[in-house]
A and B are shown apart, each in its own frame.
Chain A
Amino acid sequence: MKISIKSNLIIMLIFITIVLSAPIWGKVIGAAYPDLLQKFAIFALFAIGFNILFGLTGYLSFGHATFLGVGSYTAVWMFKLFSMNVLPAIILGTLMSGVFAYIIGYLSLRRSGIYFSILTLAFAQMAYSLAYSVLTPITNGETGLQLSQQDPRYLDALFGVAVSDGLPSTNFFGLSMSGYSGFYFCAVILIIGFYVSLKIFRSPYGLKLTAIKSNQKRMKYTGFNTRPYLLSAFMISGMYAGLAGSLMAVTDPLAGAERMQWTASGEVVLMTILGGAGTLIGPILGAVIIKYFENIFSALNTAELHSIFSFMPKFMENIFVFITNPFVGDGWHLMLGVLFMLVVIFLPGGVLEGLGKVTNLFKRILGFKSTKQGASKGESS
């Protein structure tokens, strides 16, 4: 059997190495905190799921944060009612989002294009405002759903898990989910999620999804009923979002309605686009880039900017600080917006397309003949 660089096995091995060694390479770029690494993994999972819908079928959903929120709420309720063990929480969180995704997808997928985007947005807004107002008994409104000392936790009581004095922390069969063990748990889930997405990308099923993107009408003429494919893709991506949401609850057991706001849906769209929609590792790259820079830039302030530019003459330093100041700290969103526009305008294929262009350029300079135009590192579809 010939093993090529692009076979599943090799890709998975490389991926597993990169993910599990994150605390090591994280040190080099100054990101080796479990909190941040967890965020990388969770948002990467969210983006992978979104990519299965948007990247493969081309349906732009503006309501994916709903599933994130549903996953979080379900997970926290599981912690409150049954057990602090994370396994039931993430399983039920995922399933619950799947149910929601089925209902929303069943209705929204009757339309396509912009109408689909608006429908998903409408559902997301509905969920968001309901979580704030009427559903307060379930969601605890503006305060957000939290654990409390009085929670029953029937399963824990049944198995005689010792009750501690403070608020209990989440665990995986006794292994506490704080610090690096929490990160490794998320990392393992991410690896499984990535493997599933790899399998979907390289299956006949994935091929049919891409066929929907390129020409749905023609596909219908060949006798395929596209609706079950779309609905299942929508459900799968909703379940990924629910999984990511319940992992958020695992690392920090509270859930708030702001997780369902439509800016949160916009963020995952940005991650996917930035990395490269429709590619395998693009969304993961996008999620890591955005969360990494968010972490760096939102922590900067004016004084630190002065020290960064202090090698320049005084007036130059002041000019540079004046220009960059609105972009850091609270202004991180401004930076995000600018980045968003630049990527959409100049690099519709995302960072991966950019990398591909750069490699091609080098190949031409060094004299290798480039056979494929715009070949990219990932699995471009």
Chain B
Amino acid sequence: MDAIFLQVLNGLDKGGAYALIALGLTLTFGTLGIVNFAHGALFMLGAFCAVLFNKIITFSVKVKDESITFFDAYKEQPYLEIWWGDIGSTIIDYSIPLSLLFTIPVMLLIGVIMERGLIKHFYKRPHADQILVTFGLAIVIQELIRTFFGANPIPSSAPAIVSGSAAIGAWFGLNDSLVYPWWRLIYLVFSIIVIFAVFVFLKFTTFGMVVRAGMADRETVGLLGINVQKRFTIVFGLATVVAGLAGAMYAPILPPNYHMGMDFLVLSFVVVVVGGMGSLGGAVFAGFMLGMLQSFASMNEVKAIIPGIDQVIIYLVAVIILLIRPRGLMGREGVMDD
């Protein structure tokens, strides 16, 4: 029972990350009709936004270490601590949550530049060309990050107050020894909030209404005198921001390295296709479902029955679903039908 409960949490957690990335991917596809293979790289850029922010605020100077008296010892002290004392160290401690404020404008900017500078020219080209050019872009982004930040993963820590584990067993009246890392719980809540926010934005604002209308019938909306293109560009920026946020918050869970984007890209594409191209609900549902499946498949009891199932379960499910439900779970008719 405890093990199952833990796996449910694990699955929801993984699913949250998949759903966030897939959401942006399917949004770009549904609005602009672009198959964006660079989306994983955007996720990675988000994580490195957090790293960069952390680097900026911990910009340090060498000072004499007073605690060591035997010899002259020096330590690095961030300027922020020198200037603001305790407030400064608190800010540094909370660098990951604070970095979201930095990530949002940066990612929005990157998204809009990318759409205006590159993607725009690929609306009318075949999907194969779109895949190829964004694949090239993903390599470029990835290698640039490697040039500047190196090839090794950069560990980033969550704020001290949530760095431990939550006694989650006690909350639900289960075994007291059942604990779960705080940050993962926060990530789960965070992903649900972001997904919810995107849905509210698309369902209950005028902007979202126009975007949904444009997804359904772009031409007619254009004929009504609405500049659909401009809104779609913003939606692309939004998708970039969602990917970036997912990446920035993921930094304490997985130390960012330059190829994490590629690892997630393949998975999130599978998620999108399983959910149905261009379907937002499908992407979220498929994200959580595949996350769950993956975490249950990695239980030792399951692995004992079918060895190696944890490695392939997602792809296996994707293959089966695509073969029996060609449009994915919630795919609409007429989207990418041939």
Residues of A within 8 A of B (CB): 58, 60, 107, 110-115, 117-119, 121-123, 125-126, 129-130, 132-135, 216-217, 262-263, 266, 269, 273, 326, 330-331, 333-334, 336-341, 344-345, 348
Nearest CB of chain B from residue A165's CB, rounded to whole Å = 38
Nearest CB of chain B from residue A135's CB, rounded to whole Å = 8
Is B100 at the interface (CB under 8 A from chain A)?
Answer: no
Contact yes or no, A337 B312, CB < 8 A? no
Contact yes or no, B136 A134, CB < 8 A? no
In-complex Cβ contact of B139 among A110, A114, A117, A333 (8 A): A333
Contact yes or no, A111 B326, CB < 8 A? yes
- 8 residue pairs, one from A and one from B, having the closest CB atoms: A134-B308, A337-B139, A340-B136, A334-B143, A341-B136, A129-B311, A337-B140, A122-B315
Contact yes or no, A125 B322, CB < 8 A? no
Contact yes or no, A118 B139, CB < 8 A? no
Given the known inter-chain contacts A115-B326, A122-B319, A334-B144, please indicate yes or no for A129 contacting B137, CB distance below 8 A.
no
Residues of B within 8 A of A (CB): 35, 118, 121, 125, 127-129, 131-133, 135-140, 142-144, 146-147, 262, 266, 269-270, 273, 277, 307-308, 311-312, 315-316, 318-319, 322-323, 326, 336, 338
Contact yes or no, A338 B315, CB < 8 A? no
Nearest CB of chain A from residue B308's CB, rounded to whole Å = 3
Contacts of B311 in A (CB 8 A): 126, 129-130, 132-134
Given the known inter-chain contacts A115-B322, A129-B312, please indicate yes or no for A337 contacting B270, CB distance below 8 A.
no
Known: A114-B336, A118-B269, A326-B143. 13 other contacts (CB 8 A): A60-B131, A110-B326, A114-B127, A115-B273, A126-B311, A126-B312, A129-B312, A133-B308, A134-B311, A273-B132, A336-B139, A341-B133, A345-B118
Nearest CB of chain A from residue B140's CB, rounded to whole Å = 4
Contacts of A113 in B (CB 8 A): 127, 336, 338
Contact yes or no, A130 B140, CB < 8 A? no
Nearest CB of chain B from residue A134's CB, rounded to whole Å = 3
Contacts of B138 in A (CB 8 A): 337
Q: Provide the bound-state CA to CA distance between A211 and B322, in Å.
A: 26
Nearest neighbor of A337 in chain B, beta-carbon distance: B139
Contact yes or no, A340 B322, CB < 8 A? no
Q: Which of A107, A269, A344 lies at the interface centre, i.e. has the most chain B CB atoms within 10 A of its CB?
A: A344
Contact yes or no, A345 B133, CB < 8 A? yes
Nearest CB of chain A from residue B279's CB, rounded to whole Å = 14
Contacts of A107 in B (CB 8 A): 319, 323
Contact yes or no, B35 A114, CB < 8 A? yes
Q: Provide the bound-state CA to CA distance between A110 and B323, in Å.
A: 7
Q: Provide the bound-state CA to CA distance between A319 and B77, in Å.
A: 33
Q: Provide the bound-state CA to CA distance between A201 and B312, in Å.
A: 37
Contact yes or no, B135 A326, CB < 8 A? no
Contact yes or no, B133 A337, CB < 8 A? no
In-complex Cβ contact of A340 among B121, B128, B139 (8 A): B139
In-complex Cβ contact of B143 among A125, A331, A341, A348 (8 A): A331
In-complex Cβ contact of B316 among A112, A118, A126 (8 A): A126
Contact yes or no, A119 B322, CB < 8 A? yes
Given the known inter-chain contacts A114-B127, A126-B312, A340-B139, please indicate yes or no for A134 contacting B273, CB distance below 8 A.
no
24 contacts between A and B (CB under 8 A): A110-B323, A111-B322, A119-B322, A122-B319, A123-B315, A123-B319, A126-B311, A126-B315, A126-B316, A129-B311, A130-B308, A262-B266, A263-B262, A266-B135, A273-B132, A331-B143, A333-B139, A333-B142, A334-B144, A337-B138, A337-B139, A341-B133, A341-B136, A344-B132
